[in-house]
Amino acid sequence: MGVGIKVEKLNAWFGRTQALYDITMEAPANHATAIIGPSGCGKSTFVRCLNRMHETVPEARATGGVKIGELDVYNGTSAVQIRRRIGMVFQKPNPFPTMSIYDNVAAGLKLNGFHDHARLDEIVERSLKLSALWDEVKDTLRKKSGASLSGGQQQRLCIARALAVEPQVLLMDEPCSALDPISTGKIEELIFQLKEKFTIVIVTHNMQQASRVAEFTGFFLLGKLIELDKTEKIFTTPSDKRTEDYITGRFG
Amino acid sequence: MRTRFQQGLDDLRTRLLRMGGLAEQAVDRACQAYIDRDLARCHMVLEGEFQINVAEREIDEVAFDLLALQQPIAVDLRFILAVTKINSDLERVGDQAVNIAERAMDLVELPKADLPVDIPRMAAAVSAMVRRSLESFIEGKAELAQAVLEMDNVVDRMKDEAFITLVKTMNERPEVTRQALDALLVARNLERVADHATNIAEDVIFWVRGADVRHNVSAEPPVHQASTDTR
């Protein structure tokens, strides 16, 4: 099951440049929360702070509190532990090109020393089924490389890879921006199903996508969270004029 | 700024205002035709209905295209939804004007009768409601629309009073039954026009504030009055 995310007074910097200012919000368990905002508003930085990927950038740092369920992300927990609990899917599908489809999905587990072949088979199958890719690749699991798949299939493979380590939270940073409408539709359908098992935070530039997949939407502007509310409220009667101006295309 | 989308919204607004002008004119003409027993004006109302019907279809087409092609949200979505509903109400206002004109045409053939009902006063009140509801749309002001809602009760009372006095007249003076019946139907048509003006005002409030005030079900007061700048 997914767990809720609580963020309190999160600030982030790249060197001297502050990218996030006092972000305080919650993303409820087993729901999708969309993060929208113009380029450079800090939405990707925000999700990368949730699993401490932000600190992998030289001179980047973050302060404040992030809790994933009971796990305190910035206090006494290793980055490795955190990333086991939080899967991440990026804008561009990034399967390991030399590995088979099977090995791509199993990679995270194998890296953690998991070598029970029968159990691995089960997990790979379950992950590929969860990511709605199983039927398309079950006959070529070990024959084809991840890179041989179409863009949409590659992205679902990356989702399967993220799910294989049984995370509680799935972060998605513009997962459909490089995909055609059919692949996008499949990923969106998938997000809808995955909410039963995981908590999802999705960064998207596509307002319609946010409205289709997420129960909650947060609007970021210049590193600040301007408004977070139920998605239908944000897209019909937002409370803040800046949100309305952005989503109606009057700036940004 | 989405220029083409903005042009589409401007086009929709202009078309609806033109449609509003036609509907308002139709009601005024029909009432005047009834008051003056003016057959020529009646025909103008009947001929004008065609233009209103054509305008209704065109506005729906423009709105449909904007919804399909531009995927509007927030204030823009509320604006387009409000326009489509106001469009239907204006078309119905045109129908009511035709009904009034038909009563006037019936009346022309009958002897004049002094009836205890003030149709000109009711017509003026209803006409003011239509005009103000359209003004609230032009200005994008919920306060103006709110004032229209309050006027509806006055017109309802006028219609109820007209009903009581005209039924009484029909009982007491059977020779003017047809004239009284025409007056009663005109009062009912005017009351329906007032209902459509009320609907228009409610749609303006929905567009401006995002609040659904229909059927006296009050919504939460908004924290922020969203922008209505669709220009």
Least confident of A21-30, A134-143, B116-125, B205-214: B205-214
Q: Greater confidence, B88 or B1?
A: B88
Task: Report yes or no on B67 lying in a domain.
Answer: yes
Long-range contacts of B53-58 (CB under 8 A, 24+ apart): B53/B91, B53/B94, B55/B15, B55/B18, B55/B19, B55/B22, B56/B19, B56/B87, B56/B88, B56/B90, B56/B91, B58/B15
**Residue A252 pLDDT:** 58
pTM over 0.90: no
B40: left (phi over 0), alpha (psi -120 to 50) or beta: alpha
ipTM over 0.85: no
* CATH 3.40.50.300 applies to domain A5-93+168-247: yes
User: Which pLDDT band, with edges at 50, 70 and 90, does B217 fall under?
Assistant: low
For residue B221, pLDDT over 70 is answered with: no
Beta strand pairing status for A60-68 and A5-14?
antiparallel
- Render A173-224 in DSSP notation, one character per residue: ESTTTTS-HHHHHHHHHHHHHHTTT-EEEEE-S-HHHHHHH-SEEEEEETTE
**Residue B144 pLDDT:** 95
For residue B224, pLDDT over 60 is answered with: no
User: What's B92's domain CATH number?
Assistant: 1.20.58.220
Task: Report yes or no on B34 lying in a domain.
Answer: yes
| d(C-alpha A33, C-alpha B119), whole Å | 58
Task: Report yes or no on B225 lying in a domain.
Answer: no
Chain B CB contacts of A217 below 8 Å: none
Task: Report yes or no on B198 lying in a domain.
Answer: yes
**Residue B218 pLDDT:** 54
- Indicate if the alpha-carbon torsion angle B152, B154, B158, B161 is positive or negative: positive
| d(C-alpha A135, C-alpha B167), whole Å | 76
**Residue A156 pLDDT:** 93
Q: Greater confidence, A102 or B221?
A: A102
Task: Report yes or no on B231 lying in a domain.
Answer: no
What is the number of domains present in chain B?
A: 1
Task: Report yes or no on B87 lying in a domain.
Answer: yes
Task: Report yes or no on B127 lying in a domain.
Answer: yes
The size of the A-B interface in CB pairs under 8 A is: 46
Q: State both tokens at B184.
A: 């009663």
Task: Report yes or no on B42 lying in a domain.
Answer: yes
The tens digit of pLDDT for each residue in B38-64 reads 999 999 999 999 999 999 999 999 999
Judged by a CB distance cut-off of 8 A, whether residue B195 touches chain A is no
Residues B2, A244: C-beta atoms closer than 8 Å? no
The boundaries of the domain holding residue B180 are 3-216
Least confident of A82-86, A167-171, B78-82: A82-86
Instruction: Read off the pLDDT of each residue in A201-213 and give the average, rounded to a whole number.
Output: 92
Q: Which of B1, B210, B223 sits opposite A236 (nearest CB)?
A: B210
Judged by a CB distance cut-off of 8 A, whether residue B2 touches chain A is yes
**Residue B231 pLDDT:** 47
User: Which pLDDT band, with edges at 50, 70 and 90, does B213 fall under?
Assistant: confident
